[in-house]
């Protein structure tokens, strides 16, 4: 889905969802390391989701993207910060107050085998949203469900089948149908294709983009797979250890990479041409992802960052445009990269990054 088509679908680019310094901390009752601990899964995220766009959210496992997704749809209560949906502040809303809103924002989950109740028929699962919100009688619901099934590419006659009779890709489509039922404005997709075979991934992704065009949907697309996110997103936000480190239009992220972490992520993308693969700069980050219980001081990336200097361990860099970027491109870094700048530290020679020595 290209940027042009996005512009064609949305009239005015208004903000559908606004996150303002959102924090989500979990208390862990562990004896390991002694006593209580706080997992700072999301620690101060400010983000916009614009109507009609697809915002990609990427990061390593454990960076907090799934938690953020659930904060967005208020499946979790916020520890701090504000969430505004369609200009309404829903940060402190009770479950009862949120209920009508649930028609407007939905989620698609990652695990095709876990996200459907194995003991319920598929028609009933897809029809759940109607039943919960008291829409239509049984006949009407059945018709709508079958229409939905048809729309996502399932045979409407399989209305009475159970999830275990469907393949992984088909199950995800059931999940899509369920999310689509009430015609929401926003759908948050939490790694919707990560558990599928690559060939099936393409089909489901295409379905999602078709639906977006047809129904004017807005997506937040969460994944750890960069090649996928490039294909579907208008904008991309990169997360690291509970914070957003860079957010920009898709092309800008790939061509004008500012944050060292983003650069490292991109360098890990497989490239089909072996020669090009060998010749490009491959960055291997040292160390593991630190624990979100005890994030590093200042900029969280500084222990692994080849460009880190003293200030990085003291001050957490703010998320703003750098190096003359336009307002849509925000970076949180004290020493953002110039275009084409190498990420290797000065003392680095060839070494293990180059793979098998010739």
Partner 1 sequence: MVRFLILRILQGLLVLWLITVGVFGLFFAVPSNVARTLAGRQATPHTIALINHRLGLDKPIYQQYWDFIKKASHGDLGYDYYHQLSVTHIIGQALPITASLALGAAVLWLALGVFNGVVSAVHPRSVADRGLTVFALFFYSMPSFFLGLMLLFFLYFKLTLAGFQWFPAGGYSPLAEGVGEWARHMILPWLTLALVLAATYTRLTRSSMLDVLGEDYIKTARSKGLRERRVIYRHALRSALTPVVTQFGIDLGQLIGGVVITETIFSLPGMGKTAIDAINQQDLPVIIGIVLFASTCVVVANILVDLLYAFLDPRVRLG
Partner 2 sequence: MSMGSSDVRFDEDVAAEVELGAAPVEGRSPWLLAWQRLRRDRVAMVSLAVIILIALIAIFAPVFTHFTGHPPNQQYIRQGTTTSGLPLGPNGKFWLGTDNLGRDILVRIAYGARISLAVGVVATLLTVAIGVVVGLAAGFFRGIVDTILARLVDVVLSVPFFLVAIALVSIAGPGLTMTVLVIGFFSWASVARIVRGQVLSIREREYVEAARSLGASDLRIMFVDILPNVLAQVIVYTTLLIPVVIVTQAALSFLGLGLQPPTADWGGMLAESQTFYTVAWWFVAFPGIALLVTTLAFNLFGDGVRDAFDPRSGR
The answer to whether 164 contacts partner 2 (rule: CB under 8 A) is yes
The answer to whether 350 contacts partner 2 (rule: CB under 8 A) is no
| Max Cα–Cα distance, the chain, nearest Å | 72
Residue 103 interaction partner, one of partner 1, partner 2, none, beta carbon < 5-8 Å per kind: partner 2
* Burial of 250 from C-beta contacts in 10 A (0-12 / 13-18 / 19+): buried
**Least CB distance to partner 2 at residue 350 (A):** 38
The answer to whether 115 contacts partner 2 (rule: CB under 8 A) is yes
Residues 6+ apart with CB under 8 A from 206: none
- Residue number with CB closer to partner 1 (31 or 139): 31
The strand ranges marked E within the chain are 15-29, 36-50, 54-58, 80-85, 88-89, 105-108, 186-190, 218-223, 235-240, 243-249, 330-331
**Least CB distance to partner 1 at residue 28 (A):** 9
What residues are paired with 240 via a beta bridge?
243
**Least CB distance to partner 1 at residue 165 (A):** 27
The answer to whether 32 contacts partner 1 (rule: CB under 8 A) is yes
What residues are paired with 36 via a beta bridge?
29
Report 205-244 residues binding partner 1 (CB under 8 A).
none
The answer to whether 118 contacts partner 2 (rule: CB under 8 A) is yes
The answer to whether 110 contacts partner 2 (rule: CB under 8 A) is yes
Residues 6+ apart with CB under 8 A from 174: 116, 122, 125, 126, 152, 154, 163, 166
The answer to whether 107 contacts partner 2 (rule: CB under 8 A) is yes
* Helix 168-180, helix 198-215: angle, nearest 10: 20
CA distance 6 to 1: 7
Residues in the interface with partner 2 (CB under 8 A) total 51
Question: Are 192 and 208 contacting, i.e. CB atoms less than 8 angstroms apart?
Answer: yes
Selected from 3, 13, 14, 30, the binder of partner 1 by CB under 8 A is 30
The answer to whether 103 contacts partner 2 (rule: CB under 8 A) is yes
The answer to whether 29 contacts partner 1 (rule: CB under 8 A) is yes
Question: By the criterion CB under 8 A, which residues form the site for partner 2?
Answer: 73, 75, 98-100, 102-103, 106-107, 109-111, 114-122, 128-129, 132-133, 150-151, 153-155, 157-162, 164-167, 169-170, 175, 178, 200, 202-203, 206, 209-210, 214
């Amino acid at each position: 889905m290209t940027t042009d088509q996005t512009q064609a679908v949305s009239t005015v680019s208004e903000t559908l969802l606004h996150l303002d310094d959102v924090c989500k901390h979990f208390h862990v009752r562990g004896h390991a390391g002694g006593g209580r601990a706080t997992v700072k899964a999301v620690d101060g995220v400010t983000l916009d989701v614009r109507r009609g766009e697809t915002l990609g959210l990427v990061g390593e496992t454990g960076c907090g993207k799934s938690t953020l997704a659930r904060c967005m749809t208020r499946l979790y209560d916020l520890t701090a910060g504000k969430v505004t949906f369609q200009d309404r502040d829903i940060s402190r809303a009770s479950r009862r107050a949120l209920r009508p809103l649930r028609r407007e924002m939905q989620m698609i989950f990652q695990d095709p085998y876990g996200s459907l109740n194995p003991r319920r028929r598929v028609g009933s699962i897809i029809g759940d949203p109607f039943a919960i919100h008291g829409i239509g009688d049984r006949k009407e619901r059945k018709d709508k469900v079958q229409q939905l099934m048809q729309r996502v590419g399932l045979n409407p006659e399989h209305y009475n089948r159970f999830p275990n009779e469907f393949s992984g890709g088909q199950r995800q489509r059931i999940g899509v149908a369920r999310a689509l039922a009430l015609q929401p404005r926003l759908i948050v997709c939490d790694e919707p294709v990560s558990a599928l075979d690559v060939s099936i991934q393409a089909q489901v992704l295409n379905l999602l983009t078709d639906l977006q065009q047809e129904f004017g949907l807005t997506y937040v697309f969460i994944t750890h797979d960069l090649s996928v996110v490039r294909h579907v997103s208008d904008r991309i936000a990169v997360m690291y250890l509970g914070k957003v480190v860079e957010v920009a239009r898709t092309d800008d992220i790939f061509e004008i990479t500012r944050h060292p972490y983003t650069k490292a992520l991109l360098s890990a993308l497989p490239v089909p041409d072996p020669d090009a693969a060998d010749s490009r700069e491959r960055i291997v980050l040292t160390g593991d992802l630190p624990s979100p219980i005890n994030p590093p001081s200042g900029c969280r990336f500084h222990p692994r960052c080849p460009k880190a200097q003293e200030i990085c361990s003291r001050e957490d860099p703010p998320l703003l445009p750098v190096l003359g970027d336009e307002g849509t491109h925000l970076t949180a870094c004290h020493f953002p990269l110039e275009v084409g700048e190498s990420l290797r530290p000065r003392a680095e020679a060839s070494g293990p990054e180059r793979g098998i020595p010739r």
